[in-house]
Homo-oligomer: A and B are copies of this chain.
């Protein structure tokens, strides 16, 4: 998410279902593994006080999972980030650094079949 106030990644599974419980079990487990991988990346790179994980989809129905790094001194703490107006854009350079760090991290997760094509 282009909001530098909260490190915030969104998983968008390539599926047609709108809800996690509607997925086949192997799809659910892949999503679980992806949530785990991205949460570990966020822990490792941003060292947050808490990680918020949410599958909401009230506005954008396509299934997506928010994984948000939260800190006790961030502008919304202890409230949730969804629906808030606080915003600060990243620079292109900041986005490039995060993308490179994430790509490198995923490439190291060689036990995960679904990152083989990265």
List residues of A whose CB falls within 8 A of some B CB.
18-21, 28-29, 32, 35-36, 39-40, 43, 50-59, 61, 70, 77-80, 82-83
CB distance A28 to B20 under 8 Å?
no
Known: A28-B32, A32-B28, A35-B20. A52 touches B56 (CB 8 A): yes
Find chain B residues with CB under 8 A from A32 CB.
28-29, 32
A52 to B18, CA, bound (A): 11
Find chain B residues with CB under 8 A from A51 CB.
19, 21
Find chain B residues with CB under 8 A from A78 CB.
58-59
| Copies of this chain | 2
A58 to B70, CA, bound (A): 8
Find chain B residues with CB under 8 A from A54 CB.
52-56, 80
Find chain B residues with CB under 8 A from A21 CB.
35-36, 39-40, 43, 51
Known: A53-B54, A58-B77. A36 touches B40 (CB 8 A): no
Find chain B residues with CB under 8 A from A36 CB.
20-21, 28
Closest 4 CB pairs of A and B: A21-B39, A58-B78, A54-B54, A21-B36
